[in-house]
Amino acid sequence: MKNPILGALLMGVASGAMAADLTVISFGGISKDVQTEAFYKPFEKKEGMKVIAGEYNGEMGKIKAMVDTGGVNWDVVQVEGPELLRGCDEGLFEHLDPSILGKAEDYVPGTLSDCGAGLLVWSMAMVYDGKRLANGPTGWQDFWDTQKFPGKRSLRKGAKYTLEIALLADGVKKEDLYKVLATKEGVDRAFKKLDEIKPSIQWWESGAQPMQFLASGDVVMSTAYNGRAFAAQEEGVPMKVVWNGSLYAIDSWAIPKGSPNKKAAEDFIAFSLSPAQQKIHTVKLGYGSVNLGTTQLIDPKLVERLNTAPANLEQAVPVNFEFWVDHGEDLEQRFNAWAAKG
Tell me what pLDDT residue 20 has.
66
Mean pLDDT for the stretch of residues 292-319: 95
Cα distances from 328 to residues 174, 183, 192, 332, 339, in angstroms, run: 19, 13, 19, 6, 16
Of all residues in the chain, the percent with pLDDT exceeding 70 is: 94
Please name every residue paired with 54 in a beta bridge, in sequence order, or none if there are none. Answer: 25
Predicted confidence (pLDDT) at residue 89 exceeds the cutoff of 80: yes
Query: What is the dotted CATH code of the domain comprising 124-247+327-340?
Result: 3.40.190.10
* Res 337: pLDDT: 98
For residue 158, the tally of other CB atoms under 10 A from its CB is 17
Whether residue 14 has pLDDT greater than 60 = no
Query: pLDDT category, 300, cuts 50, 70, 90?
Result: very high
Positions of CATH 3.40.190.10 in the chain:
4-121+250-313, 124-247+327-340
Q: Which CATH fold topology does 4-121+250-313 show?
A: D-Maltodextrin-Binding Protein; domain 2 (3.40.190)
Is the pLDDT reported for residue 6 higher than 90? no
Helices (H), 151-261: 162-169, 177-181, 184-197, 209-216, 226-234
d(CA 287, CA 54): 21
Q: Is the pLDDT of residue 9 over 70?
A: no
Q: Is the pLDDT of residue 180 over 70?
A: yes
Alpha carbons 236 and 234: distance in angstroms, whole number: 5
- Give the list of residues 6+ apart from residue 336 with CB closer than 8 angstroms, or none: none
Per-residue pLDDT of 201-250, as tens digits, reads 999 999 999 999 999 999 999 999 999 999 999 999 999 999 999 999 99
pLDDT at 172 over 70: yes
